[in-house]
Amino acid sequence: MTGKKVYVDEEGWVHCPICSGKSRTKVKFDTVLQNFPLFCPKCGQETIINLIQKTEPDAKTRSR
How many CB atoms sit inside 10 A of residue 14's CB? 22
Give pLDDT tens digits along the chain (64 positions).
Answer: 455 677 888 899 999 999 999 999 999 988 899 999 999 999 999 999 998 876 666 656 566 6
Q: What is the 3-state secondary structure (H, E, C) of 28-53?
A: CCCCEEEEEEEECCCCCCEEEEEEEC
pLDDT for 1 equals 45
pLDDT for 19 equals 92
- In whole angstroms, what is the distance from residue 32 CA to residue 63 CA? 27
Domain spans of the chain?
Answer: 7-48
pLDDT for 53 equals 75
